[in-house]
Amino acid sequence: MIGILNGNLAIWVIFVVCYTLLVVGLSFKIYFLNYVIDGLEQFKNCINDHGFCFESLKPIRKTRFVLLLIANIANYSMLIIGLWLYNENVTDFGTFLLALLMGNGVIHAIFYTCMKVTPAESRQWNQECLLLKFFDKHDVWHLLSAPALYFTFMYLMSLDDDIMDKEQTEIPVF
């Protein structure tokens, strides 16, 4: 919110540093499948066994590594372009943040599609059917979460309908 209300260069720099740390942390978490400490321990053991060589730097999960590398390059490119556009007075912080979120939404959809499990592997994770002898727990979760998200956004969209015809200066602000 501070960046939107007061988008000076200091706010941008703080955001870029925090966002960079977030991207690095999430990359480790995604690559090591939530077991970051175990993964880093495995990397350390490989260096101890083989020394600091190509063998110790070779990624274990190649597809995941390549997709994360592409996602990181895209994120850092968006950061650099955003800073450049801000410096040229082409964009503001809110527009930049929206573009960053939209870009990451597209990246996540591509990543999810590429990392999708095979049908045989998916059947292996199926659970006993709970609802109508057809839907398992995961299906029920989707059936309940989809309308919950829909009605949440419908509520937020219609929250200020009673003040739609008022002038902005007549709306009390807390």
pLDDT given at position 96: 85
Going by C-alpha positions, the residue among 36, 14, 37 that lies closest to residue 27 is 36
Give this prediction's pTM: 0.57
Would you tell me how many other CB atoms lie within 10 Å of the CB of residue 96? Answer: 23
User: Distance (Å, rounded) from C-alpha 136 to C-alpha 11?
Assistant: 47
DSSP letters, 136-161, are -HHHHHHHHHHHHHHHHHHHHHHTTG
pLDDT given at position 151: 93
Residue numbers in the chain where pLDDT is lower than 70: 1-7, 34-39, 50-59, 122, 174
CA dihedral sign of residues 57, 61, 63, 68 = negative
Rg over alpha carbons for the chain, rounded to the nearest Å, is 23
At 33, the amino acid letter reads: L
Helix (H/G/I), strand (E/B), else coil: 135: strand
Which of left, alpha, beta for 89 (phi over 0: left; psi -120 to 50: alpha)? Answer: left
pLDDT given at position 57: 62
Sequence-separated (6 or more) residues with CB below 8 Å from residue 118: none
**Burial classification of residue 145, based on how many CB atoms lie within 10 Å of its CB (0-12 exposed, 13-18 middle, 19 or more buried):** exposed
Contact of 86 with 12, CB cutoff 8 Å:
yes
In angstroms, what CA-CA distances link 158 with 83, 144, 151, 152, 155? 35, 22, 10, 10, 5
